[in-house]
Amino acid sequence: MGGNRVGTTTQYDPRNLHLPEQELMRSGHLACPGCGAVIGMRIALKALGDNTVAVLPACCWGVLNGPYPFSSLKVPVLNVPFATAAISGSGVRAALELQGRDDVNVLVWAGDGGTFDIGLQSLSGAAERNDRLIYVCYDNEAYMNTGIQRSSATPPGAWTTTTPAGSPKSEPKKNMVEIMAAHRIPFTASASIAYPEDFFRKMQKAKAANGTSFIHLWVSCPTGYKAEERNSVKLARLAVETGMFPLYEVENGIRYTINHRPAFTNLEEYLNLQGRFRHLDEQQIEKMRRNIEREWTVLQAKVETSLMLEAAK
């Protein structure tokens, strides 16, 4: 699983993948073909092990796990209302502490709608209290479960059923990693299903944290993206390699580490694989390129600032 820290970058070799053989997911889930959220859950449970309770709010996973009394997960599952993912996780943690059970992982697994939008107040409260939760937002960039409606995680320029091609989303994607880092929680990170070892390591780091951990996981949704199922992981990889989705982590809201330096590949290769971006013209694509450059400049500045703060200790 190893990697080595090089300056501000932790490098991982995808050709040297080491994940446990234990499977905590059963076959027979109800996900669409190519669903990135299923890949993400499979890796997450490999990292956490079977001594885990999963809290699922209303989201794709609330459906694809299977109808009661069936479940595709080999760990206890608690289904909760849309807005209550984090506070329900806090309740599970409090109940476990009353029983003297501090060895159980509480995994809150929510989509972007239940995290960026509807569940943000609950999440912020849990983070402010530093409740010992592992909160993973699997972000497929829209309300995919209810009909591909726009969320604040939807990137600018994207088609959804509520932002049609004639008037696509113009607002920027909300930066949840920075919002959570501002709470000064022990561990905040971004991750991608296309880089499983990096995600696995971050889940283990979240497991060891003494307090709230938040991981923003990019997952593909071929159905919502109007993309081919076979390109699911490829899209996740291109989101990173084009620079659109940086892989980095923040410790205690201050110490920034970039985990992967992208190749900054041609953005159009990523866009052309998805029908949701088919309407974009060259001017709009160039605007997206400039935004990627700006965001990387900002991120690098934060890394350099955190190094200066460390040196001043």
Report residue 313's pLDDT band, with 50, 70 and 90 as the boundaries: confident
* pLDDT average, residue stretch 296-305: 97
* Secondary structure letter of residue 33 according to DSSP: T
pTM: 0.94
Q: Which residue has the tokens 């866009």?
A: 271
Judged by average pLDDT, the poorest of 1-15, 203-217, 264-278 is 1-15
Of 145, 110, 162, 202, the C-alpha closest to 30 is 145
Q: Which helix (H) or strand (E) holds 47?
A: helix 36-48
Report residue 218: phi and psi, to 5°: -80, 120
Cα distance between residue 108 and residue 255, in whole Å: 24
pLDDT of residue 272: 98
Residue 55 pLDDT > 50:
yes
Parallel, antiparallel, or unpaired: how do β-strands 52-56 and 187-192 relate?
unpaired
pLDDT of residue 258: 97
Which residues, 6+ apart, have CB-to-CB distance to 154 below 8 Å? Answer: 141, 142, 160, 163, 169, 173
Report residue 222's pLDDT band, with 50, 70 and 90 as the boundaries: very high
* pLDDT average, residue stretch 131-153: 98
* pLDDT average, residue stretch 197-222: 98
Query: 147-205 pLDDT, tens per residue?
Result: 999 999 999 999 999 999 889 999 999 999 999 999 999 999 999 999 999 999 999 99
Query: 5-29 pLDDT, tens per residue?
Result: 333 444 555 555 689 989 999 989 9
* Secondary structure letter of residue 231 according to DSSP: G
pLDDT of residue 1: 33
Parallel, antiparallel, or unpaired: how do β-strands 248-251 and 4-6 relate?
unpaired
Single-letter residue type at 18:
H
Single-letter residue type at 125:
G
